[in-house]
Amino acid sequence: MAIDIDTARKVAKLARIRVEEADLPKLAGQLSGILGFMEQLNEVDVSGVEPMTSVTPMRLKRRKDEITDGNIQAQVLKNAPDAREGFFAVPKVVE
């Protein structure tokens, strides 16, 4: 399926990646190429096949729901680009 410029713009928006208008045609072309390559999958008869959810047949382990750590606020915030008064700081979200 060919990706047009509007679809490319929409995908970039969904992915939260700014793409300049001038770069959209090239992006649309590349995405079309990649998706075209995936079209081969339509040749496969997948009737009655369940989509794979786990590559190794194992049950996920369960663990006790208990607190195992905490009191590491400084460590949690250490790599934040903007941390203030014990919080992650971001631009205003609600007016």
Partner 1 sequence: MSANTWTISAARDALRKGEITAVDLTMSCLTAIDAGDDLNAFVHKTPEIALDQARAADARIAAGDAPAMCGIPLGIKDLFCTKGVPSQAASNILKGFKPEYESTVTSKLFDAGAVMLGKLNMDEFAMGSSNETSAYGNAVSPWRRKGSNVQLTPGGSSGGSAAAVAADLCLAATGTDTGGSIRQPAAFTGIVGIKPTYGRVSRWGIVAFASSLDQAGPMTKTVRDAAIMLQAMAGHDPKDSTSADIPVPDFEAALTGDIRGKVIGIPKEYRMDGVPSEIEALWARGIEMMRDAGAEVRDISLPHTKYALPAYYVIAPAEASSNLARYDGVRYGHRAKLTAGDGITEMYEKTRAEGFGAEVQRRIMVGTYVLSAGFYDAYYNRARKVRALIKRDFETVFADGVDAILTPATPSAAFGLGEMADADPVQMYLNDVFTVTVNLAGLPGVAVPVGLDAQGLPLGLQLIGRPWDEAQLLNCAHVLESRAGFVAKPQKWW
Binding site for partner 1 (CB under 8 A): 3, 7-8, 11-19, 27, 30-31, 33-35, 37-44, 46, 49-56, 58, 60-61, 63, 72, 75-76, 78-82, 88, 90-93
Q: How far is the CB of 23 from partner 1 (least distance, A)?
A: 10
Whichever of 46 and 67 has its CB closer to partner 1, that residue is 46
Whichever of 50 and 85 has its CB closer to partner 1, that residue is 50
Spatial distance between the Cα atoms of 29 and 31, rounded to a whole number of angstroms: 6
Listing DSSP states for 78-94 in one string gives TT-SSEETTEE--S---
* Sequence-distant (≥ 6) Cβ neighbours of residue 89 within 8 angstroms: 80, 82, 83
Spatial distance between the Cα atoms of 72 and 78, rounded to a whole number of angstroms: 10
Q: How far is the CB of 78 from partner 1 (least distance, A)?
A: 6
Whichever of 53 and 71 has its CB closer to partner 1, that residue is 53
